[in-house]
Structure 1
Amino acid sequence: MASEQKAVFDLIGRRYDESFVERDDQLAEGAWLIEQLDRPARVLDLGVGSGLPTAKQLIDAGIDVVGTDESAVMLELAQAQAPGGSYLHRDMRDLSDLGEFDAAVAFFSLIMLPKADIPPLLSGVRELLRGPRLLQVSMVLGDFDRFPISFLGVPTEASAYPPDELRQVVTDAGFEITELREVAAEAEPNRIEVQIYLRARAL
């Protein structure tokens, strides 16, 4: 599965950013996180992708960002579009040798994992957190596991949770949910989807 998802984003490349019509809510989440963190601060960006908008937003605010991604093509974009971050070419499930973080974010990246892999990943992330120990996750509303989809014309698989199930998964991983909201957004031209934004704090 990992190599297949890597190939998907190698193919998509720059079109990933060009596809997004609305990113106001993700930008708002980044702004909220910036306000919560005293400097110096260190944030783990799981599935950093092209670095836009979150890695760049955090770096521009003086925050140290470590971003992981399987796609070398996306990491090249991140280096160019969000310079100053530390970008690691690896599966986001590999948390070894990363050090500690004040916060971790996973914006629309957990979607690409089988549901069985998400709880242990979140539990592992919890062990890396210090200080405010914040977590932000965004997903697409749904109820499916490794469901075949087409994203920007490239076949892939995706997973999604109903809000209550996502809340339970994150809680079971050792976090307290502080906010969960649903928003409708134009994810691709002429395609509206409901997105879930979750904020949590490690216990």
Structure 2
Amino acid sequence: MSDSDGPPAKRPSGVPAAGGGHGLPAAAVFDALGAAYERAFAGSAAHRASLDRLLEQLAPGGRVLDVGSGTGVPTARRLAGAGHRVVGVDVSPVMTALAARQVPDAEFRCADIRGLRWTDGEFDAVCVYFSLLQMSRDEQRELLGRLARAVRPGGRLVVATVPVDVAAVSAVFMGQPVVVSSFGEEEFAALVAGTGFAVEERHSVLFTPDHPAGAPEPHLFLHCRRS
């Protein structure tokens, strides 16, 4: 997942059709896409607005984890440019190398976020922009619970996903075969709230990636506070 920002298969175009669950690993998908992912999603006004809102809520010099940091643009670049201490994690070596070049003021790690552990309360905020979709539903639940513990009390979580009710179905994302899982909007909001976050804001939009295979897809943004 990478997020021009983000790691495992994010943002599948449209609602994927049911299939046999055959797809490439997230690292292979985003190694292949590289900077094309950033170009396809650079026009997301909703993503930019979400970052603006987060920056309003963060105290100066906050420590922020960017899950699925992709090429580092726009998330890590915006946060680091505002003086925050950003740690980006992405499963794709190609994406991680691009991010390190494009955002030299942030720290980037090429790793699977599912295998990392963090100190309780280590971060002032965590960003998860479209980085869950190549994980199973159980993996998404488990990861969100661990991320909740990594955020200090009163800290922030911003999470965005494609809110469709699917589990381990095949899809084609920017020409790459992937397997995706997600939740409907209400179920996903309830899932996030159940991990210990108060969902304070919710924003839904349709977005069409700037790519020959791009099709309108629903995007859900949640802004949350650690209880």
Measured against the shorter chain, the TM-score band is: over 0.9
What is the aligned-residue RMSD (CA, Å)? 1.7
For residue 98 of structure 2, give the secondary structure of its aligned residue in structure 1.
helix
> Where does residue 184 of structure 1 map in the other structure?
206
Structure 1 residues not aligned, in runs of 5+: none
- The structural deviation recorded for 1:12 is 1.1
More relative contact order, 1 or 2 (CA 8 Å, 6+ apart): 2
1:28-43 equivalence runs, <5 A: 28-43=49-64
Question: Contact 2:167–2:182 at 8 Å: present in 1 too?
Answer: yes
More displaced 10-residue stretch of structure 1: 15-24 or 145-154: 15-24
Number of corresponding residues: 202
Partner Cα distance (1:70, 1:57) in 2:
21
- The structural deviation recorded for 1:145 is 1.7
Task: Say if 1:104 and 1:5 are closer, same or farther in 2 by CA, change over 3 A.
Answer: same
The counterpart of 1:60, out of the listed 81, 96, 105, is 81
- Once the two structures are superposed, residues 142-187 of structure 1 have per-residue CA deviations (whole angstroms, 9 ceiling, x without a partner) of 1112221111111111222211000111111111111112111112
The counterpart of 1:11, out of the listed 17, 20, 32, is 32
Partner Cα distance (2:85, 2:154) in 1:
15
Task: Say if 1:75 and 1:21 are closer, same or farther in 2 by CA, change over 3 A.
Answer: closer
Partner Cα distance (2:40, 2:222) in 1:
23
- The structural deviation recorded for 1:188 is 3.8
> Where does residue 122 of structure 1 map in the other structure?
144
Structure 2 residues not aligned, in runs of 5+: 1-7, 9-23
- TM-score, normalization by structure 2: 0.84
Partner Cα distance (2:98, 2:201) in 1:
31
> Where does residue 197 of structure 1 map in the other structure?
221
Structure 2 residue 120 is matched with structure 1 residue 96: no
- The structural deviation recorded for 1:198 is 0.6
Partner Cα distance (1:120, 1:33) in 2:
24
For residue 115 of structure 2, give the secondary structure of its aligned residue in structure 1.
coil
- The structural deviation recorded for 1:128 is 1.0
For residue 209 of structure 2, give the secondary structure of its aligned residue in structure 1.
strand
Partner Cα distance (2:43, 2:119) in 1:
32
Structure 2 residue 51 is matched with structure 1 residue 27: no
Residue identity matched to 1:87: F
For residue 25 of structure 2, give the secondary structure of its aligned residue in structure 1.
helix
> Where does residue 197 of structure 2 map in the other structure?
175
- The structural deviation recorded for 1:25 is 0.7
List structure 1 runs of 4+ shifted beyond 2 angstroms.
187-190
- The structural deviation recorded for 1:94 is 2.7
Partner Cα distance (1:9, 1:63) in 2:
26
- Once the two structures are superposed, residues 44-95 of structure 1 have per-residue CA deviations (whole angstroms, 9 ceiling, x without a partner) of 0011111111110101111110011111100011111222111111111233
For residue 221 of structure 2, give the secondary structure of its aligned residue in structure 1.
strand
More helix by share: 1
More displaced 10-residue stretch of structure 1: 55-64 or 178-187: 178-187
Residue identity matched to 1:47: G
For residue 145 of structure 1, give the secondary structure of its aligned residue in structure 2.
coil
- The structural deviation recorded for 1:119 is 1.2
- The structural deviation recorded for 1:17 is 1.1
